[in-house]
Amino acid sequence: MAVYTDITENDLRNFLSEYDVGELTSYKGIAEGVENSNFLLHTTKDPLILTLYEKRVDAGDLPFFLGLMQHLAQKGLNCPLPLPRHDGKICGELSGRPAALISFLEGMWLRKPEAQHCHAVGVALAQMHLAARDFSITRRNALSVNGWQELWAKAAPRADEVLPGLQQEIGAELDYLVSHWPQDLPQGVIHADLFQDNVFFLSDRLSGLIDFYFACNDLLAYDVSICLNAWCFQPDGAYNFAKGSALLAGYQSVRPLNADEIAALPVLCRGSALRFFLTRLYDWLTTPEGALVVKKDPIEYLRKSRFHRAIEAASEYGLEPAA
């Protein structure tokens, strides 16, 4: 949950005077997003989201993030739209932080998604990949192989505190990924964090994608592998073949994976499982006890990493042969 910065009514009124929005009638800090402070605003017109970018977000990346949301919304994708100020900018400042006013997307994220929802996620992910093809700004993925190595260098010496043997196991897995990471797959803008809380539904219909603050340029099929990890495992850790199959079929109904992407899917899944394992491990080891953040258990992603190491072909994830 995230409200790191409170705002006073006067500062907010000044900030809103730069926009063409209705009269403010309420603002509440909401428990969404872990990197930024988010407020839900009611006005005499539409509800809005106000985001204050805290220091974990590099202000230099905001033109990419906000521009991407604007680009995708203009292409017809359902995602939050940053509102322009009177001076045309889509980012201002509030309480000493960069701040943006963003359209409110109705919908709810699913705590218990089913296969049909996974299909819709695959469709939306592929639509996003296509819609972003002509987006002009680029952003390197700081959390790809090099980033994993940097994180691991910091976490490795204490890894066995979490689970004995972890230092050796993860070291070997990282070595494997460094030497087998695919280079020549189709690239583009990926969401890179399309977890359940970032996809909204209205009575079983996908109503939008949110939280583009990890978006970057990388392998498109890597984004698919992130979704397989995020959406297609049961709470008990077992892979759900029906969900995986639905997610992949949904994706391929919009953007078919090519043969190289299909062949690379197991190693991509190993990579994304390791990526979330490493950030969670790092946070687990470094987040001070008093912090206002719920630490996520890294072991969930260790289990997923081990699962993917035993996979030999994409068909084991439920990928149907192309029609």
Residues that bind its own copies (CB under 8 A): 1, 3, 6-10, 23-32, 40, 42, 47, 104-108, 110-112, 200, 202-203, 289-290, 292, 294
Residue type, 295: K
Q: How many C-beta atoms lie closer than 10 Å to residue 68's C-beta?
A: 23
Please identify, using beta-carbon distances, which residue of 201 and 214 lies nearer to its own copies.
Answer: 201
Please identify, using beta-carbon distances, which residue of 49 and 274 lies nearer to its own copies.
Answer: 49
Tell me the closest approach of the beta carbon of residue 208 to its own copies, in angstroms: 11
Tell me the closest approach of the beta carbon of residue 29 to its own copies, in angstroms: 4
Tell me the closest approach of the beta carbon of residue 113 to its own copies, in angstroms: 9
Token pair belonging to 107 = 């919908």
Please identify, using beta-carbon distances, which residue of 39 and 239 lies nearer to its own copies.
Answer: 39
Angle made by CA atoms 78, 81, 85, in degrees to the nearest 5: 165
CA nearest to 135, candidates 177, 77, 193: 77
Helix (H) or strand (E) holding 92: strand 92-94
Q: Where does 143-203 show beta strands of DSSP type E?
A: 187-190, 199-202
Tell me the closest approach of the beta carbon of residue 101 to its own copies, in angstroms: 16
Residue type, 273: A
Please identify, using beta-carbon distances, which residue of 28 and 133 lies nearer to its own copies.
Answer: 28
Tell me the closest approach of the beta carbon of residue 52 to its own copies, in angstroms: 13
Whose tokens are 């689970």? That residue is 163
Please identify, using beta-carbon distances, which residue of 288 and 321 lies nearer to its own copies.
Answer: 288
Q: Report how far residue 109's alpha carbon sits from residue 207's, in angstroms, rounded to the nearest whole number.
A: 10
Tell me the closest approach of the beta carbon of residue 289 to its own copies, in angstroms: 4
Please identify, using beta-carbon distances, which residue of 105 and 249 lies nearer to its own copies.
Answer: 105
CA nearest to 92, candidates 68, 59, 45: 59
